[in-house]
Structures are given as structure tokens and as C-alpha cells.
Structure 1
Amino acid sequence: MKLVRFGQPGAERPGIVDREGQIRDLSAQVSDIDRRMLSREGLSVIAKIDEASLPIVPEGIRIGPCIADVGNFIAVGLNYADHAAESNMPIPAEPIIFNKAPSCIVGPNDDVQIPPGSVKTDWEVELAVVIGARASYVAEASALDHVAGYCVCNDVSERSYQLERGGTWTKGKGCPTFGPLGPWLVTKDEVDVDNLSLTLKVNGELVQNGSTRTMIFKVPFIVSYISQFMVLQPGDVITTGTPPGVGMGFQPQRFLKAGDLMEVEIQGLGRQLQNVVGG
């Protein structure tokens, strides 16, 4: 299934994408795409609904973040060897994890805002994992039992805040609008998570072109690993790292500016389109 949320910020309604690619309104059947509906039982309820009986959502309506009320928004750093190389950083022996603020989450086509005074705002296409069942000290072999599905994330990053201001990477990762999610949440039964192409274009130029095949730490290991340090709850999001081609890796470095247009896509998970605006 492809689950979606549509409508104005703060008033989004749940929907499902039918076989023809049309959005159908689920709001008469379920309250939202939230932690309750992301459970195995919740998804089973949605799967039994006759899509053809649902009203079609008019074209052109805003698409919101594909999940409501995200609790933890956790990110994995340097999870592609070639991205570590372009960042002049060693391949990590264990996953690097840090937090993005849930308040940075926006819809897939909402504007991305450069923070006031920022000169190093960067892009990162990433596969995001959405948790569907409580996970604490889970084994790698059973980790996917705790996953509801996957979506596209643009892990927008301010590099000077992240790397030059002391402390953790979190400083450069949680600014407003730095977490576009969606357009859809695709349930795990429809995704070959180890073989997905990821691309990102800036102003039509292809700058990132990678595949989840080259991830250092795969999704089951990541979910298991993080569950050793914290309890993962339904609705939590883990964004799993980016392939090479970020602005920081260019020579000379390139960063976003007002007026830029980002096109972010993962095979089978949909496309994002974001205008960059000044802080």
C-alpha cells in the first residue's frame, strides 16, 4: 500500500494511492496515518478497505508529511562508503546516529528554508524507515517485524552548524523545514529495500545517483542496533544515510541558495520537489 496525507499544514487528512495513481480519501475510515494505524493491526484494517469505494481527492491538493505525530526522528551518518570518502571521514566501525528535530518535518513539496545567516545549507537524499511496532533490544533477524514501511527523506543539513559549531551533528540537522518526508509511506511488503535507486537533482542537474545496494549498514542491522540504545515506538522514523554527491563533497563546495529547486526521488517510493527560500 501507498499511504499519504493531504491538505493544509496541521489539517492533513489520510489517503491511499490506488492502482491508477489517484489519491483516495481515507478520512471517513481512519483518523490519520499515525502510530496507531502503523501497527500490524492498523495496516490490516486499511488493507481491507475497498479503494474503489473511496472518494478521489482533487488534483493539485497539497501533500503533507506521510506520517503524523512522529516521535523520534533518528538519522544515520556516513552509511555509504563513497559518501564517507567525499566527506574526508573514515568509514565508521559502528553506525553514527544522531537526532533530527521532529519539528523540522514538512511535506515533500513544501519550501525548504535556509536558516538566517546560513551559508552552507546542503542536500541529502535518504531512505527513511518507519517503525510500526515497539522495538527494544531486538535481534537483527527479526528487526523487519518492527517496520511498517519506507518513505523518501531529504536530510537537509547546515554544514557549518553541523561541523564547525562544536558538540553533536544535531545542530545542523533540525532547523525548520529540514525534514521533508513523503510523498507516500510504502508498506514493507512492496519494497525491495536492498535494491533501490536514489537520486537528487538541483536545478535539473543530477548531483546524487546512488543505490541502497552500497549501504554499509543495512536496514535490519540499523533497526536492531538503534534498539539497543533506545526504545523505538510506532511512528518513529529512521533516515538511513545518503550516497555521494552532496554539496559539501564538490570541489569547490556548492550549497543551496534561495531560488534553487531540488528534485528528490527513490525508486518506488515517489518524488519530492522543493523550492529553496531565504531565511
Structure 2
Amino acid sequence: MSTAAPVIATRRIIPGFGLTLGFALAYLGLVVLLPLSATFIRSADLSAAEWWAAVSSPRVVASYRLTFGVSLLAALANVVFGVIAAWVLVRYRFPGRRLVDALVDLPFALPTAVAGIALTALYAPNGWLGAPLAKIGPEGIKVAYTALGVWVALTFIGLPFVIRTVQPVLEELEPELEEAAASLGATRLQTLWRVVLPALRPSILTGFALAFARAVGEYGSVVFIAGNMPMKTEITPLLIVTKLEQYDYAGATALAVAMLVVSFALLLLINVLQLWSRRQGQ
């Protein structure tokens, strides 16, 4: 005589799938989809020719080039230095480690305007770092009020995204894997390339995407150090704010839509690469 296994009822803290899905979709619609829909609807006030003229003028194209190009360079730099910083925080114990770990989150907590003012004062021609840099070479190295200053600001605000994304994965990656690779004759470079980086690849791509997205939409920390010279150091978010101050709401939303479409396409590409990376690691 066989006896059926007892059925154990599980208690759910959160209500069932239907109710929670409804709340999630409602929240997503109100917070994300509704504002984005309003942006597309408002930009529809322009005709196709007017919309294209608003998003393709030489000044706007120059701002695209600076915004997306420097954001990409800043995200790439953050990937390199963020992975190194996460490795040091996870793999080594040293005096002041907890303080350094806490300082990583400083760009999260610091108002962006304060960060911009601080960076400008630091890298200005008479600043603590700007003055020594200005004496290097025949013409000196200028940071404030240049594209290099924009890169510094975007790197500053994007670095924590990479560190905080890679750090938990490194903590779960056991050192025994590296020791096993070394015992099989692998060099340090081979261990890094074939053992460590494949395990970190999805988190690195996630950190890169977050840092890039944050840099593209950054305004407060850049507007002070950039100098905001048209065709040179003017970012697209500043152009949007300028059009809003001129009551050109349709032109501002047209630029916003253009940035939204390009940013979504780039993030979609990064997500596809992330999915491919996960499948390669399985």
C-alpha cells in the first residue's frame, strides 16, 4: 500500500502573481512609460522636416558627438579601473579598506552640482591639480573647460556603477579556481584571461551599461567644468535645458526623443551582448 507524500502549503508574504504583476505594470506605466509617451507626443507637434532640422543642426550634432563619444570613453575607463578597484577591495586586506569601500559610494550621495563645482575648482588653471598640469609641456594640459574635463566628470560619476556591479561577483568567485589554474601551469595572465574575466564578463557588461547610461544623461557635474562652448564643449542635456528656457518645448522634446532612441538602441545592443556572454559561459 503506497502512501502519498504530504503536501506542504507554503505561505507567501507578497500576494499572488496576478496582483503583484498588476501593481508592477501600473507603477512602471506611471513612472516610466507615461513621461516617455508625453515626450513623444509633445515632439509630434513638429512636422517631419522641422523635427529633423531640430535634431540635425550642426550645433546639435556636435553636442551628440561630445555627449555620446565622451560617455563611451568614460564608461570604458570605468570598466578598467572599476574592475581593478573591485579586485583590490575583495582580494586584499589593508588598513583603511572600509573607508575606501565607503568612499566608492560618494558620487552616489554627492549632489551632482557639488561634484561639478568641486571638480572645476580642482582642475581650474589655478586649482590644486590644474596649476601643475598647466605647466606640463609647452602649452600645458588643460582640463577644466575642455572635453577632457567632461571626461573627468563623467568618469567620476560612473565609476561606482562598475565597482558595485563587479564586487559581489568577485566575492562569490572562489580563489580556489585561480589556485587550480596555477597548479595546472597557467600563468597569471592566462588565469586572468581564461578563468577570472569569463566569470566577470556579464557583470562587467552590466556595469559598463549602467555607467554609460548615467554619463549620457548627466548634467549637473558636467555643466560647470565643461565651459559650455557651442560646437566644442556643449553637451546635449544642456541644449535641452537651453531650449526649455527659451520656451521651445517642442524642440527640447525633439532632442530628448533623439537621445532616447539612440540610448535605447545602444543599451539594447549591450543587453544582447550580455545575453550572449551568459550563454557562452554556460
| TM-score bin (small chain) | under 0.3
TM-score, L = length of structure 2: 0.25
Q: Which has the higher contact order (CA 8 A, sep 6+)?
A: 2
Larger Rg: 2
Greater share of residues in strand: 1
Normalising by structure 1, we get a TM-score of: 0.25
Q: Name the structure with the higher helix share.
A: 2
